[in-house]
Structures are given as C-alpha cells and as structure tokens.
Amino acid sequence: MVLIAASTTAVAGALSMAAGAFLALNSEKEVKTTEIAKKIFLGEASEVIPMEESPIGSALVVGTAYIAGAIVPVLPVIFGATSALFSVLTAGLMVIVVSTILSFLSGMDVTRRIFLNLALITIAVSVTYGIGVFAKHLWGIAL
C-alpha cells in the first residue's frame, strides 16, 4: 500500500511540477520574444537577450528531480523497513545533503539553510499528517 501510494503521488507530482516548469519557461520565453520583436519594430536597440533554455528540457529536469526526491523516503520501505522512522531519517539526511550542496554552490550560510529547510519540511509533513488524521476522524478515511 505504501509503495502504491508513493508511486502514484510521485508520478502525479512529477507531472504537475514538470508542467509548471514548462509553462513558466515557455511564458517567459514568449514575453522576451515579444519584447525583442517590439524593439525591432520600433527601430530601437534591444537589450533583451533571447532565452536559450528549452521549456521541454526544463520540464524533464524538474520532473526527473521530483521523481528522484519522491523515491528517497520510500527506499527504506523497498528494503523492508516497517517503521516510518527510517523513511523520516532518510528524507532528513537527503534534505541535509541537498541543502549543503545548494548552499555551497550559491554561497549561502550552510547551517542556516539546513535548519531552514528542515524546519519548513517538518512543518509541511506535520500539516499533511494532521490533514490525514483529520480526514480519518471526520470521514473514517484511512489515508
């Protein structure tokens, strides 16, 4: 049940995030193209640089990254874990690793970024768990 729920959530989330990345980049590309065309039409020099990043490429990267991130907390279950503790620890470790890499690459304070990301994810997981408990209590639905 856990693997089925995780895989359907991972696929749905990856498709949603990929579509969002595609639409955002596609819209940005369209705006820049329109700005360049307007400047050319008016005979003005355009300082707008055309986008080289592909919306489809961006969507594939975002979707793949989402799937990879969604698999991490499920790995302990795949290897036989019967407690949520191992999934929480695995996900927490991955948050620390990713936060460290991103902090290093962007020049941000590593410790601050790790604690901020862990706090935000803890809040998100707690709210999601609370919704599940509320739904079970209110409608008798086990999520």
Contact 94, 71 (CB under 8 A): no
Domain range annotation of the chain: 1-81, 83-143
DSSP 72: G
Angle among Cα 79, 82, 88 to the nearest 5 degrees reads 85
For residue 89, give the H/E element and its range: helix 84-106
Please give the model's pTM, rounded to 2 decimal places: 0.71
Cα(18)–Cα(68) distance, rounded to whole angstroms?
13
Residue 143 has pLDDT above 60, yes or no: no
Q: Which of 130, 102, 107 is nearest to 117 (CA)?
A: 102
Nearest residue to 65 via CA among 31, 98, 105: 98
More confident residue, 122 or 50: 122
- Using the predicted structure, report yes or no on whether residue 142 has a pLDDT greater than 90: no
**pLDDT tens per residue, range 2-42:** 788 888 999 999 999 999 999 999 999 999 888 888 888 88
Closest listed residue to residue 6, CA positions, set 79, 74, 83, 63: 74
Write down the pLDDT at residue 57. Answer: 94
The residue type of 93 is: L
Q: Quote the CA–CA distance of 75 and 61 in Å, as a whole number.
A: 21
